[in-house]
Amino acid sequence: MKNKNWTSVEQAFFIAQASQVQTTKIPYICLDNFPDLGLLTSLRFLEWVSENPEGVISLPTGKTPEYFIKWTCHLLNYWENKELESLRKKNGLDISKSPDLSQLKFVQIDEFYPLNPSQHNSFINYVNTYYLEGFGIPHDQALLINCNEIPLAHEKHW
Count Cβ atoms within 10 A of the Cβ of residue 23 and give its class: 0-12 exposed, 13-18 middle, 19 or more buried: exposed
Question: Which pLDDT score is estimated for 2?
Answer: 63
pLDDT tens sequence across 42-95: 999 999 999 999 999 999 988 889 999 999 999 999 999 999 999 999 999 999
Cβ atoms within 10 Å, residue 37: 17
Question: Which pLDDT score is estimated for 98?
Answer: 97
Cβ atoms within 10 Å, residue 40: 22
Confidence of residue 158 (pLDDT cuts 50, 70, 90): low
pLDDT tens sequence across 111-150: 888 888 888 889 999 999 999 999 999 999 999 999 888 8
Q: Which of 23-27, 136-140, 146-150, 153-157 has the highest mean pLDDT?
A: 136-140
Domain spans of the chain, in order of start: 8-155
Beta carbons of 1 and 24 less than 8 angstroms apart: no
How is domain 8-155 classified at the architecture level of CATH? 3-Layer(aba) Sandwich (3.40)
The secondary structure of residue 44, as a DSSP letter, is H
